[in-house]
Amino acid sequence: MAQSEATKRANSEAQSPSSSIARFGEDAPLHLDAGVSLSPFQIAYETYGALNEDKSNAILICHALTGDQYCASVQPITKKPGWWETLIGPGKPIDTDRYFVVCSNVLGGCLGTTGPASINEKTGKPYGLDFPIVTIADMVRAQSMLIDYLEIETLFAVIGGSMGGMQVLQWAASYPDRVFAAIPMATGARHTSQNIAFHEVGRQAIMADPNWHQGKYTDEGVVPSKGLAVARMTAHVTYLSEPALQRKFGRQLQDRENVSFGFDADFQIESYLRHQGSSFVDRFDANSYLYMTRAMDYFDMAEDNDGKLANAFSGTNTRFCLVSFSSDWLFSTAESREIVHALNATGASVSFVEIESDKGHDAFLLDEPEMVATVSGFLNSAAKARGI
Amino acid sequence: MAQSEATKRANSEAQSPSSSIARFGEDAPLHLDAGVSLSPFQIAYETYGALNEDKSNAILICHALTGDQYCASVQPITKKPGWWETLIGPGKPIDTDRYFVVCSNVLGGCLGTTGPASINEKTGKPYGLDFPIVTIADMVRAQSMLIDYLEIETLFAVIGGSMGGMQVLQWAASYPDRVFAAIPMATGARHTSQNIAFHEVGRQAIMADPNWHQGKYTDEGVVPSKGLAVARMTAHVTYLSEPALQRKFGRQLQDRENVSFGFDADFQIESYLRHQGSSFVDRFDANSYLYMTRAMDYFDMAEDNDGKLANAFSGTNTRFCLVSFSSDWLFSTAESREIVHALNATGASVSFVEIESDKGHDAFLLDEPEMVATVSGFLNSAAKARGI
């Protein structure tokens, strides 16, 4: 399959994003958990609102697996509104009239921050699998360099869901003095066996696509679109919940009165999933998907702290607000509770809300009034304490 | 990829199975729900024990999606023991010293009953996608012809789990006078939206494999093994449960002290899934997998009965014993309860047991003492009533 216009656009955004860029040269290498250094590299980021005089009002938003820096602005490929406009904007809970909001594409991503789709200066070709494996801690290390670059000492808050929530936890652990408040949502302190399993299935689907070419598909002028679509479809089912699927789609047929007695998309859920798969391919790089899923799989904060999660947060002054969703079976409430227990053990300031919702893991991205109210209330109270 | 020895063996079992065969000629066409007839066709089956004089001791075992007729004898391809030897055999709950046990490969299967891998006599080539779509009711219709062929009027019991359980329910609905007792396990009266979703992902993985060739892979001398392996891996995750995965694998590494910072199977769960995928390919036909999943997707007994599940069983004299497993999230206890309510509404004789187990959907295939005791107790009591 030749490169579509969408693929060209995606490649262009990977190299020269529509957003701002912070470049780090040979003098500022990024030391990775894999034991190697990355240099040069760049971070693509968006900002909203203005930094106040004492630089106390900065909020860092961390995006999820397939998210990007366009949390509150139009995504340049899909032309869709920002993915978290429910929460972020003027007068919204994360009020851009009040806070300076920063959101960067994660390390290893494909929307302008250096990742496997970026051109390796040493070869003139995309890194592909020559890109080093990155961890959640590496992503956070890169973000801290961006925060330095923006001359911000302490973040008022770090907020994110799912893989974004992992980054929030890692920020609080790696840079406790730089995080005043933290909101990890729909997340866990380690990736479970089941979650690794679903990621592995997605990776195998991508790597099984002959167009993948051991990650060198751009050199071949093709895209492993079928494999990537299957990976996305599998993952997408895990982002929803059985009750939500039943309510939204049930066994309703798509544009027909009767089943076709064939393998067409008879059911609405089939048609929906196929659309999710094919539209994803236009905006996301297959290798980047491999790297993002691997970063999540490797995440285990207890393992990194002598088997004791509480050690990750000992002596922390950060105030935490954890949010989980009752029907989220990918990052269940039990996962959040483990974090709450660890934080309690260290005497940290912790709020925890489990929100009743049938919308599954995806709920954190949707307009859930109780979530909006929780974030708003917690941030207002933290802002008061911070004197903003 | 050239055909492996395993593939040749699987093809041979599809045409000329190691088990017994009942052949139905042009004079005995099978009328399918799709509105077409299948003829000629054959049913491959195994039997265990002996039919008693008044032919009152026959038990039909219905297999699941990727099961086969070898429920209590060695599988000819894998050389593994029968898949339900926990329950079936001399002195076991389904006692072959006492009962005459019949198990046939389902219509559309690939172990000797006519299906997409069978040679179409009109073309001399495998049917592939020219094979008509079959439903659970079609499978049961074919089985009833086998039961006629074996000169059995009434089955003492029909027993099966998952897709096998669907067949049990359909038997009770289609042939109420021919089923004395029924044990549908880990099943539902309709396939849910989430279950259709996971099946669709599997089908897309198979059809995305260029070796699939629109189902004509045998003509090309290849097998869509990568796609089929991905389909199996996805499905396999849904057969387990998060607690069981955590207990069995957790985040344990496979043959290494540290993660590889790469895409090898670092974690035991990855290695396990890859093995599940690759070994499945040796014993199962990719097209048959498409047909089996479709048959399950189409299953909706309420829809077939003016939207009311109870109508499917009105006036039934069959005694039912339903079994569900607490950690089964594919066919949850709620699904079994719906059937129990419908049966209660018709005044049927119903027992229902939810078995505490962390083993997920797969539990019905495993040595679960409470399941074994339930089947044993129910069958003994039914045998007494039947005068066996």
Per-residue pLDDT tens digits for A209-249: 999 999 999 999 999 999 999 999 999 999 999 999 999 99
Q: Is B251 on the interface with A (CB under 8 A)?
A: yes
CA distance A351 to chain B (A): 26
State the helix-helix crossing angle for B286-298 and B163-174, rounded to 10 degrees.
50
Q: What per-residue confidence (pLDDT) applies to B222?
A: 95
| Rg of chain A over all Cα atoms, to the nearest angstrom | 20
- Interface contact A193-B262, CB threshold 8 A: no
Q: Are strands B20-24 and B41-48 parallel, antiparallel or unpaired?
A: antiparallel
Q: What per-residue confidence (pLDDT) applies to B5?
A: 84
Q: Is A326 on the interface with B (CB under 8 A)?
A: no
Q: Which residues 6+ apart lie within 8 Å of B387 measured at CB?
A: B56
- Interface contact B269-A200, CB threshold 8 A: yes
- Mean pLDDT value of segment B199-225: 97
- Interface contact A203-B132, CB threshold 8 A: no
Catalytic residue among A56, A162, A332, A336: A162
Q: Which amino acid, B346?
A: T
- Interface contact A129-B209, CB threshold 8 A: no
pLDDT higher than 50, residue A198: yes
Q: What per-residue confidence (pLDDT) applies to A3?
A: 66
Contact yes or no for B207/A263 (Cβ under 8 A): yes
Determine whether B276 is exposed, middle or buried from the number of CB atoms within 10 Å of its CB (0-12, 13-18, 19+): middle
Q: Is A261 on the interface with B (CB under 8 A)?
A: yes
CA distance A123 to chain B (A): 21
Q: What per-residue confidence (pLDDT) applies to A2?
A: 52
- Mean pLDDT value of segment B249-267: 95
When comparing pLDDT for B130 and B1, which is higher?
A: B130
Q: Is A50 on the interface with B (CB under 8 A)?
A: no
Identify the DSSP state of B253.
B
Q: What per-residue confidence (pLDDT) applies to B1?
A: 44
Q: Which residues 6+ apart lie within 8 Å of A369 measured at CB?
A: none
- Interface contact B269-A226, CB threshold 8 A: no
CA distance B101 to chain A (A): 32
Q: What per-residue confidence (pLDDT) applies to A331?
A: 98
Minimal Cα distance from B273: which residue of A?
Answer: A197
Q: What per-residue confidence (pLDDT) applies to B3?
A: 66
Our answer to whether residue A275 is catalytic in this structure is: no
Q: B227-245 burial by CB neighbour count: b if 16+ within 10 A, else e?
A: bbbbbbbbbbbbbbbbbbb
Which ranges in chain A are annotated with CATH 3.40.50.1820?
5-194+300-386
pLDDT higher than 70, residue A1: no
Q: Is B205 on the interface with A (CB under 8 A)?
A: yes
d(CA B71, CA B63): 8
Report the CATH number of the A196-293 domain.
1.10.1740.110
Q: Which residue has the tokens 């999230």?
A: B329
Report the CATH number of the B10-194+294-386 domain.
3.40.50.1820
- Mean pLDDT value of segment B65-77: 97
Q: What is the pLDDT of residues B150-180, one digit of tens each?
A: 999 999 999 999 999 999 999 999 999 999 9
Q: Which residue has the tokens 């799709």?
A: B34
Q: What per-residue confidence (pLDDT) applies to A296?
A: 98
d(CA B260, CA A7): 31
- Interface contact A204-B298, CB threshold 8 A: no
DSSP characters over B124-162 = TEE-GGGSPP--HHHHHHHHHHHHHHTT-SSEEEEEEET
d(CA A244, CA B3): 43
- Interface contact B263-A203, CB threshold 8 A: yes
Q: Name the nearest CA neighbour of A361 among A236, A184, A246.
A: A236
Over chain B, what is the mean pLDDT? Answer: 97
Q: Is B226 on the interface with A (CB under 8 A)?
A: yes
Q: What per-residue confidence (pLDDT) applies to B7?
A: 84
Can you give the pTM of this predicted structure? 0.96
Residue A255: other Cβ atoms inside 10 A: 9
d(CA A329, CA A358): 11
Q: What is the pLDDT of residues A314-366, one digit of tens each?
A: 999 999 999 999 999 999 999 999 999 999 999 999 999 999 999 999 999 99
Minimal Cα distance from B299: which residue of A?
Answer: A251
Region of A201 please: left (phi>0), alpha (psi -120 to 50) or beta.
alpha
CA distance B25 to chain A (A): 24
d(CA A254, CA A251): 10
Our answer to whether residue A361 is catalytic in this structure is: yes
* ipTM reported for the complex, 2 dp: 0.95
When comparing pLDDT for A127 and A6, which is higher?
A: A127
Q: Are strands A20-24 and A41-48 parallel, antiparallel or unpaired?
A: antiparallel
Q: Which residues 6+ apart lie within 8 Å of B124 measured at CB?
A: none
Q: Which residue has the tokens 């079936």?
A: B88
Q: Which of B204, B245, B300 sits opposite A194 (nearest CB)?
A: B245
Q: Which of A193, A234, A249 sits opposite B234 (nearest CB)?
A: A234
Question: Dihedral of CA B274/B276/B282/B288: which sign?
Answer: negative
Q: What is the pLDDT of residues A149-178, one digit of tens each?
A: 999 999 999 999 999 999 999 999 999 999
The CATH class that applies to domain A5-194+300-386 reads: alpha beta
Q: Name the nearest CA neighbour of A158 among A144, A150, A148.
A: A144
Q: B113-145 burial by CB neighbour count: b if 16+ within 10 A, else e?
A: bbbbbbeeeeeeebbbbebbbbbbbbbbbbbbb
- Interface contact B192-A245, CB threshold 8 A: yes
Q: What is the pLDDT of residues B268-322, one digit of tens each?
A: 999 999 999 999 999 999 999 999 999 999 999 999 999 999 999 999 999 999 9
CA distance B295 to chain A (A): 9
Q: What per-residue confidence (pLDDT) applies to B2?
A: 52
Chain A / chain B CB contacts < 8 angstroms: 156
